[in-house]
Structure 1
Amino acid sequence: MNYSALSSEVDPSSVFPFELDKFQLDAIASLNAGRSVVVCAPTGSGKTLVGEYGIYRALARGKRVFYTTPLKALSNQKLRDFREKFGFDAVGLLTGDASINRDAPIVVMTTEIFRNMLYGTPIGQVGISLTDVEAVVLDECHYMNDRQRGTVWEESIIYCPREIQLIALSATVANSEQLTDWLNQVHGPTDLIYSDFRPVPLEFHFGNLKGVFPLLNDDKTQINPRLLKRGKKKELEKGKGNRRPEAPSINFILSHLQERDMLPAIYFIFSRRGCDKAVAEVGDIWLVNEQEAQQLRRQIDEFLTRNPE
């Protein structure tokens, strides 16, 4: 992409070779009008595209963009994605563990790093570290609701100079209108861009020792009858026989998900000990065929060659 050939207000069709949804176009129009945006849309709907537009536009103007995420792992992923999209030398990374090409036009960082950077900048002023920064993307902005870490996002917004546009992206902000009103007060003109269309529908399943079943019946009005204890329904209603059932193992669940072609999947385990135990349990599970295994070996060998550390 020859960014210098792009206009100061980048035509979305020049960088996105597909039709955009209305909420994406609305967000782009707000950015081009010089306003910050709060983009609330379901997972998989394409919120990140709004942040990417901010990057394309900044590069066209010879400016910079900071892209913040709540997790180091997510920052590392964005580094890889943006290097592939915008060029290796155009992207840098700042986390608690790494500082890579920090003067690049696009710098991915954890939100804590951005907040700490602002601590050394007088409120309302652009410090040395923010020179030429046109926009800051606050990915996963719903972390503001987190009791322990939410202040990081609040302080980042309060300290960020008003002339820098904020692009706040979130799938789950219940009080999105209040958040937008607050940004209007403490930062500057901000538009709420909201969409409730879910391109990836949610379907609920339940796993027990007999298998994995849809949670609801065909009409989606009641619990799936197969999940009710036959002959003991009345006891359950009276509060008897409610001893906690044994949970199926991770191996059992994975095997059933594989049979239903429901992999890959994310399996949440809420303790380090539980994670270590699960690693040991799944060690003998083979989820790929031989052809896929050979492809994976090649990719891993190539990665280790490029990254010997």
Structure 2
Amino acid sequence: MTRVFVLGNATLDCVQRAPRLPRPGETLLGEVPRRCAGGKGLNQAVASARAGAETVLVAPLGSDPEGAALRAAAAGETGLTARWIASAEPTDYSAIWVAADGENAILSSAAAALSLGEGDALAALDDFAGGDVLVMQGNLGRDVTAAAARFARARGGRMLLNTAPIAWDMAQLLDAVDIVVANEGESLALTGEADPSRAALALGGALGAGRTAVVTRGAAGALLARDGDLATIAAPAVHAVDTAGAGDVLAGVLAGLIARGEPVERALVAAVGAASIAVTRHGTVPSFPSRREIAGLAVGGAGGG
């Protein structure tokens, strides 16, 4: 069975709602903070598993109460196997502020993520095989990310790169990527194109023939570019209350459905739908749609894609 391997980070998220995001130098009063599992790697692995794909998460974790909480959260996810790599650094932490209109601001630590070395990462991916899908983001160091990308390519697997966050030049990875998922700001940084359609086409062109670029656009859905063709995937109209983690839902569900054999456009329709469900709920992982909800979207996407 084709599997999804997610190599990335895991964080304990502290989410606090406020009437709006604070201005520089301003103090606002917010609601009682709530803690939950998060981090782009863990988030995308959970979303992939809920999309029905056998999923392996590889992530560094500190030996502290925060790490224990993340271990417990991952252990409760059907279809998800976590391969935690011990880090001498504390478990990474994200402070997330969410405004009444759903917009958010996030500040994350990355000491544990950046402590992950090539040897440990590749050892945890040892059973990655041809046809498997490797998902990565920008939280890990450049060298370990590039090494894992080369490893997946040499094994005959496929690679999905989510370009968030852009902490170093990701252009060097594009020749090893089958699918790139970027938001509008990231696609601008990678291509210099402010127009999302032109950015999607430029990204698709940089990847090469037969590969796919996705530019996510929030409430406007997503753009899919492949071999010079451009498709627009509309998002359903919803009332957003918290957009934190929505991009991770999209990337994870996309990877999971592709691993299950769905064509990329139909998988993206379902992934956009899953992200649209997540923004109507509070928190990161607690907001993610269930396996049953994603299965319903996948059926709908197959009919309408």
Whether TM exceeds 0.5 here: the answer is no
Bigger strand fraction: 2
Question: How does the TM-score come out when normalised to structure 2?
Answer: 0.29
Q: TM-score, normalised by structure 1?
A: 0.29
| Structure of greater Rg | 1
